[in-house]
Amino acid sequence: MKDLIEHIKEFNALPVNSECGLSESIELQYWHDLDIYTVEQFEFFQAQQDAYNIISEAFSKSYARLVCFGDGVTIESVTLEAKTASEYLKRTFQEEANQEAEIFAEVNSLAKQCNVSHETMERWLAQAV
């Protein structure tokens, strides 16, 4: 258990965790209640939590619960699902950014044709809807 607590202290001290205000408990009873007794179990727990957040954002919370906490779940399966969800989110965000850029360009083109500002054209289009 001493190894687990030392590992958690190191985890809490990582710049990415301390900058975000992320801090895990160093109370043994807390981890006993979660049936976590080793560094490997702690790392698996962290992988599950991270994957759950990514997968639930990309797909759904119910799917995330299934793939992160269901029967037969391994750290490899959780990591693979998280990677897939992360790639999906990146593609989705890129597609949204591309659509916004296209809309901006179209509004800009209309504004130039009407000899008005971009903001005026946006207002006119919003009023027309």
What string of DSSP letters covers 70-92? STT--HHHHHHHHHHHHHHHHHH
Confidence class for position 21, pLDDT limits 50, 70, 90 = confident
Q: Which token pair is 7? A: 């590992």
CA–CA dist 100, 32 (Å, integer): 49
Tens-digit pLDDT profile for residues 83-94: 999 999 999 999
The amino acid sitting at 80 is L
Q: What does pTM read for this prediction?
A: 0.75
User: What Cα–Cα distance (Å) separates residue 53 from each residue in 11, 28, 50, 73?
Assistant: 19, 25, 5, 16
Tens-digit pLDDT profile for residues 71-115: 999 999 999 999 999 999 999 999 999 999 999 999 999 999 999
Rounded to 5 degrees, φ, ψ at 25 are -65, 145
